Amino acid sequence: MTAINASTGSAGSKPDAPTSIRFVIQDAHNRGATALYLQPGRPPFYRMSGKLLPQEHLAPLAPEQFRHYLQEVLTPQQLKHYLEVRKLDMDVRIPGFMQGRINCGPTAQGTEAMSLNAIALDGPDQAVQRQGTVQVMVEDAYKQRASDIHLQVGEPVRFRIQGKMVKQETYGKVTSRQFEEFLQEVLLPVQQEQFKERQELDTAILYDGMVRCRVNCSQSIMGGAMVLRLISLDVPTLRKLGLPDILRVLAEERQGLILVTGSVNSGKSTSLAAMLRHVNETLPRKIVTIEDPIEYVHTSNESLVTQREVGLHTQEFKDALRGALRQDPDIILIGEMRDRETVDTAIRASLTGHLVLGTLHTKGSVNAFKRLLNFYSPEEQETVRIQIVDALRAVIAQALVPTVHGGRTAALEIMINTDTVRDYLQKGATDEIYQLMEEGKDGSQTLNQALFDLYEGGVITPHDALAASLFPDDLNYMLKNYTRRSSRSGLTTSDYFNHQMT
């Protein structure tokens, strides 16, 4: 192949090399190019009006990026053949995206290069084209009581129904062109630009009179992907969710740090929304939420509510949290405590007359305490431990469990930071905390006790209870003997804690 000698460069910020060749092909198509040329150390070149022109809005390709592009275009057999002979001229196809003619091999200078000619993008799958838009799918998912919609290039549409992924064959497979249309339908223009730059994006969209959707967009080796989480427009009540009364008490606290922890999609945001609804309906407070994205929308009632979304109304959690402290808040909700600065500010706010609600991704309540400590160096942890212990009001660890009626319900482990618990946390002697939680004083309970209560109430099956338990053998004893107390009085939090870390 003939090498192209052309220098590139642009003023201002340095352009990024697309992570996928799909972006380059789509960009070339959008600009009316008939072919493209790729070579390490050069930006992509497009053939337009009979001329090969450098695309200076794209960065020069690194060698590893060039090889990744080859892997995207060629099948494993084609790639193996190319690596053996270092030359290839044949028709290629990326299923669900494009077809064309590839020519690749070394230039006169010995550098690898490839060209793609006669490029034709696939049209939308006929089934997808017939069914139409994301909104149509949301309406369908809503009728089927699905919790999530999964859209991915080259794959059929899938709904998550009662916790299980179910293919929706009537929609066919999503093509790259169709995915671009989905992005244009769901995202604002500024968000579309952000997605092109960052390759991922979180946002939310309202379907008036039906649902609000939390949306995650991303890129992968297979192409674009979008996941929509369907969220009820009605902010749930604590009673409707069947959550313990102690959550009402905690929501009414004047200051302190309350952590809601659990795995992804364990219902943390829903429980927090219910707590805020209780406050909003009953108390004259100022509530500021910082979320990514906003899921439940609260209309000010007895309380004045301000909601901010990271990426739309602020750039970072930490920046918005600092700003919130200047907005005369009573309650601050932090969608996720991601970094040390956010944790620092949250602790300081909870020690200076504010109630701070935040989330972490940990299993079990005791482990959340250690997660906070781990934001700091070993040399700092003893000093910070004192601050965390003083700030902490409670930790709520949550899991979602399938119900006998085909839905899902929350099982909550609750650790109230009583004087006794505070003393153990301060000393680093956590061995007795699990037993204290089991005794149920001041509203504490273990996850096993929550699962036992759900089973006793006929809400969940023994099988699902055991599957959700961190200590299934212990829970099995409780179920067989019909008792809320564990089989081993010697079960310590160190055992419990070590189990959570595995």
Q: What CATH number is associated with residue 281?
A: 3.40.50.300
Same domain, 403 and 486: yes
Token representation of residue 142 = 């809503």
pLDDT, tens digit, 9 for 90 and up, residues 63-108: 888 888 888 888 888 888 888 898 999 888 876 678 889 999 998 8
Q: Assess whether pLDDT exceeds 90 at residue 170.
A: no
- pLDDT for res 497: 44
Same domain, 160 and 100: no
Same domain, 109 and 157: no
Same domain, 222 and 148: yes
Q: How far apart are CA 223 and CA 18, in angstroms?
A: 12
Q: Assess whether pLDDT exceeds 70 at residue 243.
A: yes
CB of 322 closer than 8 Å to CB of 314: no
Is 4 part of a structural domain of the chain?
Answer: no
Residues in the chain: 502
- pLDDT for res 91: 86
pLDDT band for position 5 (cuts 50, 70, 90): very low
Nearest to 280, CA basis, from 289, 268, 267: 289
Q: In what order do the strands lie in the sheet with 158-161?
A: 164-167, 158-161, 148-152, 223-232, 211-220, 200-207
- pLDDT for res 123: 62
Same domain, 117 and 131: no
Q: How far apart are CA 294 and CA 184, in angstroms?
A: 20
Which of 73-87, 88-102, 457-471, 474-488 tops mean pLDDT?
457-471
Q: What phi and psi, each to the nearest 5 degrees, are found at residue 99?
A: -140, 155
CB of 250 closer than 8 Å to CB of 275: yes
Least confident segment among 236-245, 251-260, 339-348, 429-438: 429-438
- pLDDT for res 14: 55
Q: Assess whether pLDDT exceeds 60 at residue 459.
A: yes
Q: How far apart are CA 152 and CA 202, in angstroms?
A: 16
Q: Which helix (H) or strand (E) holds 306?
A: strand 304-309
Same domain, 396 and 296: yes
Same domain, 284 and 387: yes
Residue 144 CB neighbours (<10 A): 12
Q: Assess whether pLDDT exceeds 80 at residue 393.
A: yes
- Identify the domain boundary among 173, 205, 232: 232
Does the bond joining 60 to the residue before it have cis omega, within 30 degrees of 0? no
Mean pLDDT (the chain, rounded):
87
In DSSP notation, 393-456 reads EEEEEEEEEE-TTSSEEEEEEEEE--HHHHHHHHHT--TTHHHHHHHTGGG-B-HHHHHHHHHH
Could you tell me what percent of the chain has a pLDDT over 70? Answer: 90
Domain holding 76, by residue range, is 21-121
Is 170 part of a structural domain of the chain?
Answer: yes
Is 259 part of a structural domain of the chain?
Answer: yes
CATH number at residue 155: 3.30.450.90
Q: What phi and psi, each to the nearest 5 degrees, are found at residue 135?
A: -60, -40
Q: Assess whether pLDDT exceeds 90 at residue 250.
A: yes
CB of 2 closer than 8 Å to CB of 110: no
Instruction: Give 321's contacts (C-beta < 8 A, 6+ positions apart).
Output: 290, 332, 334, 342, 345, 346, 349
Q: How far apart are CA 35 and CA 103, in angstroms?
A: 11
pLDDT, tens digit, 9 for 90 and up, residues 312-351: 788 888 889 989 999 999 999 998 898 999 999 999 999 9
Is 1 part of a structural domain of the chain?
Answer: no
Nearest to 358, CA basis, from 387, 386, 325, 395: 395
- pLDDT for res 488: 53
Same domain, 187 and 226: yes
Q: Which residue has the higher pLDDT, 6 or 244?
A: 244
Same domain, 301 and 359: yes
Burial of 163 (0-12, 13-18, 19+ CB in 10 A): middle
How many domains in the chain? 3
Nearest to 399, CA basis, from 163, 237, 146: 163
Angle at 121 between CA 118 and CA 125, to 5 degrees: 145
Nearest to 33, CA basis, from 94, 120, 107: 120
In DSSP notation, 352-370 reads TT-EEEEEE--SSHHHHHH
Q: Which helix (H) or strand (E) holds 17?
A: none
Is 35 part of a structural domain of the chain?
Answer: yes
Same domain, 245 and 107: no
Same domain, 247 and 201: no
Question: Hunting for tokens 């230039």 — which residue is that?
Answer: 107
Quick one: CA dihedral 182, 187, 189, 190, positive or negative?
negative
Is 2 part of a structural domain of the chain?
Answer: no
pLDDT, tens digit, 9 for 90 and up, residues 9-53: 334 455 666 778 888 888 888 888 889 999 999 999 999 888 899
For 371-382, give the secondary structure using H, E and C: HHHCCCCHHHHH
CB of 45 closer than 8 Å to CB of 37: yes
Same domain, 377 and 413: yes
- pLDDT for res 96: 65
Coil vs helix vs strand at 347? helix
Q: How far apart are the first and last CA of the chain?
A: 54
- Identify the domain boundary among 86, 121, 156: 121
Token representation of residue 281 = 């309906």
pLDDT, tens digit, 9 for 90 and up, residues 269-325: 999 999 999 999 999 999 999 998 888 999 999 999 999 988 778 888 888 998 999
In DSSP notation, 19-69 reads SSHHHHHHHHHHTT-SEEEE-BTS--EEEETTEEEE-TTSPPBPHHHHHHH
Q: Which helix (H) or strand (E) holds 185?
A: helix 176-186
Q: What is the mean pLDDT of residues 253-280?
A: 95
Token representation of residue 453 = 């209560």
- pLDDT for res 299: 93
Is 472 part of a structural domain of the chain?
Answer: yes
- pLDDT for res 17: 63
- Identify the domain boundary among 232, 260, 281: 232
pTM exceeding the 0.75 threshold for the entire prediction:
no
Is 111 part of a structural domain of the chain?
Answer: yes
Coil vs helix vs strand at 495? helix
Quick one: CA dihedral 422, 427, 428, 429, positive or negative?
negative
Distances (CA, A) of 414 to 368, 393, 410: 12, 11, 12
